[in-house]
Amino acid sequence: MRGFLFGIIFNAIMNEDIKTTSIPTDFISSRNANRGILKLEKLEINKIISLFSRAFRASLQAVKNKINDAVGVGTSGGNFGKNRNSRLFIIFIAVVLLGLSFYLGKSLNQNSTNYNDDRPLPSATKARQDLNKEFKFPLKDARGEDLSEIKYVIESAELQDSIIVKGQRARAVKGRTFLILNIKISNNFTQGIEINSRDYVRLLVNDSKELIAADVHNDPVAVQAISTKYTRLGFPINDSDKNLMLKIGEIKGSKQTIQLNF
């Protein structure tokens, strides 16, 4: 097949295009005349492009004629089984079309493959208590002067055996669990702020006087101007811990108590 196409192009150049193209006398090197090798030396770029363009069109027409002849032989000439070249040519075309259809089908199948969602599933909640407790705290500048206030809302408390931290699941060991607080912070100031949400919450367990700070957090929490940000706080506790209480307030201010009943 490759020899067939090469012969078409060669004949198109030698028999057709050379007749219609002005070629300098030194186009064929005398040193290579016996071998019939063309040596391009002074032919202008536009003539070369025109030469090969016409040769390519002639080769395409010859291929088209070859296909028509092969089909004609098989349908009307009755010599399909006797013309070996025509039969091989049609087999070649069939193999090419089969391979192309297989490749396209494989590509379409890969593109239509279902998207694999590898995001971690939400943590299972063992117990939940809706709180919806709202607190307001002053927003101060570096000199301690009040600029505005933030609204700090504890929406709910949950008990979970695992928690998602920075896209990764952290699991509690046997006998331990996480107390999770879902918090909403609203900034009414005309500038963005950053606050440590864990500074406003402490936990008491088993009637102890020890105040426990959150180990799981997203601090510092950035809250843009005139906007609301959702965040979470997590406290690792024992499964056996009872009488859970939250102390809410500024570090140096008074605290309010929230009793948790799981």
Q: Are residues 9 and 75 in the same domain?
A: yes
The answer to whether residues 94 and 167 belong to one domain is: no
In a domain, 236, yes or no: yes
Give the range of the structural domain holding residue 242, as residue numbers without chain letter. 125-259
Most confident option among 19-28, 134-143, 221-230 = 221-230
Confirm whether 116 is domain-assigned.
Answer: no
| Contact status, residue 217 vs residue 154, Cβ threshold 8 Å | no
Query: What pTM was computed for the model?
Result: 0.56
Give the confidence band of 85 by pLDDT, cuts at 50, 70, 90. Answer: low
**Quick check: is 229 in a domain?**
yes
Question: What confidence tens digit (pLDDT) does each residue in 184-220 have?
Answer: 999 999 999 999 999 999 999 999 999 999 999 999 9
pLDDT reported for residue 61:
67
Distance CA 160, CA 242 (A): 15
- Give percent above pLDDT 90 in the chain: 42
Strands 221-223 and 245-248: unpaired
In a domain, 120, yes or no: no
Q: How far apart are CA 201 and CA 257, in angstroms?
A: 10
Query: What pLDDT score does 51 carry?
Result: 65
The residue that leads in pLDDT, 194 or 100, is 194
- 17-26 pLDDT, tens digit each: 444 444 444 4
- Cis bond before residue 220 (omega within 30° of 0): yes
Sorting pLDDT into bands at 50, 70 and 90, what band is 74? very low
Domain containing residue 248: CATH number: 2.60.40
- 63 shares a domain with 170: no
Q: What is the mean pLDDT of residues 106-135?
A: 77
For residues 36 and 144, state if they share a domain. Answer: no
Claim to verify: residue 49 and residue 26 sit in the same structural domain: yes
Q: Are residues 83 and 187 in the same domain?
A: no
Q: pLDDT higher for 112 or 101?
A: 101
- Looking at the structure, tell me whether residues 206 and 143 fall in a common domain: yes
| Same-domain pairing of 251 and 140 | yes
- Is residue 141 situated within a structural domain? yes
pLDDT tier, 70 (very low <50, low <70, confident <90, very high otherwise): low
Q: Are residues 105 and 134 in the same domain?
A: no
Domains held by the chain: number = 2
Distance CA 245, CA 179 (A): 11
The reported pLDDT for the residue numbered 124 is 84
Tell me what percent of the residues of the chain surpass a pLDDT of 70: 60
More confident residue, 121 or 84: 121
Do 89 and 141 share a structural domain? no
Residue 118 lies in a domain: no
pLDDT at 11: 54
Domain identity same for 165 and 45: no
Q: Do 176 and 205 fall within a single domain?
A: yes
Phi, psi of 182 (to 5 degrees): -95, 120
State which of 111, 136, 165 marks the end of a domain.
Answer: 111
